Each structure stands twice: as C-alpha cells, then as structure tokens.
C-alpha cells in the first residue's frame, strides 16, 4: 500500500514538473511571438532618426551626413536586429517542429522574416497578421503532434541548435538584400510625391 502511494506521488510530481516545464515553454514562445510581430511588422523598424543630429547648414555636408546616418541605420543596425529575430525564430521553430531538418527550419524562418518585411511596406496590418499567424499556427501544430510533451526529444532538438548557425549568413544576406531593395523602391516612389508637395508649398 505504501509503495503504491509513493509511486502515485512520484508520478504526480513528474507530471507536475512536465506540465510546469511545457507551460513555461509555451509562455516564452507566446511572449516572443507577441514582441516579434509588433516589432518586425513595422515598416520603419529603426526609429532612431539619426538625421536629427545633422546640424550643418552646408547642403553638401548635410547630404554626406545623411548618407552616413543611413548606412549606420540600415547597413549596420538593421542586420543586427534582423539576425536577432531571425535567430530566435529559427531556434524556436527547430524546437517545435520536431521532424524538420535544420536546413528546412532555416529556410522557413528566412522566408517568414523576408515576407513580413516585404508586406510591411505594402500594409503594416497585413505584416502583423502574417508575423503572428504562422508562428502561432506552428505552436498549435506542435502541441497537437505526438511527442511534443516528451522532454528527451525536446532536449535532443535543443542539441541541434549549433547546427543552425552554419548557414545563417546566406539567409541573413538574402533578408537584408530584400530590405534594401524595398527601401530603395520606397525612396524612388516617394521622391516624386515629396517634389509635388514642395512645389505646392
């Protein structure tokens, strides 16, 4: 009788720890998705407006500093931010999608981040929907897939995380390239509008 009670208590303790562990995983993932979609779906991710520090009156110097600040914002800071969100998304996708190989995980993460960035230039609400719909769908599929609540499989996937970072530069270059193309296209399309507004004034 005592052995049965002990066995029941041990089973309940293991169950409680497993429940606590996976609840924590789901909460962390949900928090990530919340900040991920709010941040990445904005057309202007970086709102530092470094140009405000350009106090020179000489037009040539102003242009030089404008180019310099543009390079800092979109060639230096943007890749760092993109790498952070892309890396976290790839890690979480790897952990949740247990049957996907590392290359496929990287492809999915890169395609999702690039798609969100492109749609943010079309419509930010569309980008937000895309940024939260796919990760939350992935979570729903993972939870309802057999083996999700198996901690040994979970930690096996965590062990594969270092493999993710072997091909990351290629995907990162692709995402940054897409971002720069969209930024240049927006600058080209907004230039005639700004000239019309200046003429009207």
User: What's the pLDDT score for residue 60?
Assistant: 67
pLDDT at 129 over 50: yes
pLDDT confidence of residue 2 = 54
| Stretch 60-66: mean pLDDT | 68
Output the pLDDT for position 49: 57
What whole-number distance in Å separates Cα of residue 90 and Cα of residue 92? 6
Question: Domain residues of the chain, as ranges?
Answer: 11-200
Burial 139-166, CB ≥16 within 10 A → b, else e: beebeeeeebeeeeebeebeeeeeebee
Task: Flag whether pLDDT at 135 surpasses 50.
Answer: yes
Q: SS3 of 101, please? A: coil
Write out the DSSP string of 125-141: HHHHHHHHHHHHHHHHH
pTM of the predicted model, to two decimals?
Answer: 0.73
User: Distances in Å between the alpha carbon of 183 and those of 20, 83, 121, 135, 177?
Assistant: 44, 18, 9, 26, 10
Output phi, psi for 45, to 5 deg. Answer: -60, -45
Predicted local distance difference test score (pLDDT) of residue 198: 43
- Token match 């594969």: residue? 160
Structure token digits, residue 86: 């892309």
CA distance 46 to 105: 27
pLDDT over 60 (residue 197) = no
What is the model's pLDDT at position 64? 73
Confidence check: pLDDT of 50 > 60: no
Q: Is 197 helix (H, G, I), strand (E, B) or coil?
A: helix
- Looking at residue 58, what is its pLDDT? 61
Give the angle 147-84-24 at the CA atoms, nearest 5°. Answer: 35
Helix or strand holding residue 150 (H, E): none
């Amino acid at each position: 009788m005592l052995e049965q009670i002990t066995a029941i208590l041990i089973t309940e303790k293991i169950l409680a720890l497993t429940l606590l562990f996976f609840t924590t995983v789901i909460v962390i993932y949900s928090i990530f998705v919340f900040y991920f979609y709010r941040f990445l779906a904005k057309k202007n991710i970086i709102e530092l407006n470094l140009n405000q520090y350009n106090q020179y009156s000489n037009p040539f110097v102003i242009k030089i500093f404008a180019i310099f600040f543009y390079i800092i914002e979109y060639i230096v800071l943007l890749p760092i931010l993109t790498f952070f969100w892309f890396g976290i998304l790839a890690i979480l996708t790897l952990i949740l999608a247990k049957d996907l190989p590392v290359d496929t995980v990287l492809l999915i993460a890169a395609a999702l981040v690039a798609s969100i960035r492109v749609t943010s230039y079309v419509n930010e609400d569309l980008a937000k929907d895309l940024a939260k719909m796919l990760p939350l769908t992935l979570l729903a599929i993972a939870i309802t897939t057999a083996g999700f609540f198996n901690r040994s499989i979970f930690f096996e996937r965590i062990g594969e995380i270092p493999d993710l970072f072997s091909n990351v530069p290629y995907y990162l270059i692709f995402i940054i390239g897409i971002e720069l193309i969209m930024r240049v296209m927006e600058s080209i399309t907004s230039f005639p509008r700004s000239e019309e507004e200046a003429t009207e004034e």
